[in-house]
Amino acid sequence: MTTTIYGIKACDTMKKARDWLDGHGVAYGFHDYKAVGIDRARLEGWSRAVGWETLLNRSGTTFRKLPDADKQGLDEAKAIALMLAQPSMIKRPVLDLGDRLLVGFKPDQYQRAMGK
């Protein structure tokens, strides 16, 4: 099983998550979706697994700067379109453990998921 962490390299929360993984000896791949993008199929799969509301980072600057019209009437299709257009709107990190996803970084959640 391959563990992959998705996010943006310069994000402070990403740094904390990577430091935690490194400190606990967890091998993982890193996918920088700001640099290499993210595909619709993956976002749709994540949305089915955890819900688009969990994936969409409404507290981030990118989302807050959107025109009000873009924030109105949000549904899964509109949220996915926004995240595809601007991947920094995806909550970070998304940790793909192969059999489940963890969204956001909470050390106790990582500990429970990996038994470390």
Count of alpha carbons within 13 angstroms of residue 59, beta-carbon side: 5
Name which of 89, 84, 85 is nearest 63 in CA terms: 89
Q: State the Rg of the chain over Cα.
A: 14
SS3 category, 84:
helix
Q: Which run of H or of E encompasses 71? A: helix 68-71
Which residues are part of the catalytic machinery?
A: 11
Q: How far apart are CA 49 and CA 11, in angstroms?
A: 24
